[in-house]
Amino acid sequence: MANGVLVDITKCIGCRSCQIACKAWHSLDASYNLMNGNLTMPKELNDNNYTLIEFKENKTSNRAWKFIKKQCFHCKEPACASACPVGALRKMKNSSVIYDQWLCIGCRYCMIACPFNIPKYEWNTTNPWIRKCDFCDDRIDDGLEPACVKACPMKVMYFGDYKNIVKEAKRRIKNNPDKYINYIYGEKEAGGTSWIYISDKPFEELGFKMNIPKKSYPLITWKNSLSKILWEEAGLLAILGSLLYLRTRKDKKGDKN
């Protein structure tokens, strides 16, 4: 079954319960970082933090805050998996995009390919791997919610069948036009993602990337690059084959003489 999560930004209070639950479930080390005037900690996703609450301060007279949950979007057609030459990243039937460190060769093509800049590298170790949110693949397979969804006290996230979460997002927007902007982030971006968002503020004001193509990245890559490479390789093989044929033919003539 295709799963998904609806994140309702209007409900988040910035408690970071999701961050703690994620660390606990994945046995990630606790860490401390100086805030330096910004309550977001750490400053961005990294190899030891698969999910993150970003604090956005509205610099107006009321000094309002917005809290943005960040993690892997688990694209329907993930660019990271498409770019991986050894299949270390792959899309599962339950919608998670998982990583097999024992297949990884450390090329980091996935980091370059991801339109959301999600995969992170373990730069501080001599035996580095790629790290990112795995959608709690093991929990989902056991019929459980992802750890971050389960831990949230405000029910910011709604987990379920992908079609149902999209319907729920549209229902909330339709029934509360004065509360939500009429846009579902992730429904179309990069061909669609398993994690989608609704908000009362424009997504560009909240730091979301708005210049991401609506087509899936593997499709774009194939159309613009890979298909041309294959034709070029076919041409090169034809040339090499012709040269080999001519050389073999010449050698045979020499033997007869």
Q: In this structure, what CATH number is given to the domain that contains residue 158? A: 3.30.70.20
Residue 158 has which token pair?
Answer: 């709604």
- The pLDDT score that the predictor gives to residue 26 is 97
Are 120 and 226 within one domain? no
- The pLDDT score that the predictor gives to residue 63 is 65
How far is 191 from 217, CA to CA, in rounded Å? 7
- The pLDDT score that the predictor gives to residue 38 is 78
Cα angle, residue 128 at apex, residues 133 and 216 outer, rounded to 5°: 40
Are 235 and 131 within one domain? no
pLDDT tens string for the chain (257 positions)? 899 999 999 999 999 999 999 999 999 998 777 766 778 889 899 999 999 999 998 776 566 889 999 999 999 999 999 999 999 999 999 999 999 999 999 999 999 999 999 999 999 888 899 999 999 999 999 999 999 999 999 999 999 999 999 999 999 999 999 999 999 999 999 999 999 999 999 999 999 999 999 988 776 655 444 444 444 555 555 565 665 655 555 554 555 55
Are 239 and 250 within one domain? yes
Contacts of 57 (CB under 8 A, 6+ apart): 63, 64, 65
Residue 85 domain boundaries: 1-215
Are 56 and 169 within one domain? yes
Positive/negative CA dihedral, 22, 26, 30, 35 = negative
Are 204 and 227 within one domain? no
What's the pTM value of the predicted model, to 2 decimals? Answer: 0.84
How far is 186 from 189, CA to CA, in rounded Å? 5
| Residue owning tokens 């033919």 | 249
Are 152 and 256 within one domain? no
Q: How many domains does the chain have?
A: 2
- The pLDDT score that the predictor gives to residue 234 is 52
Are 144 and 222 within one domain? no
- The pLDDT score that the predictor gives to residue 245 is 57
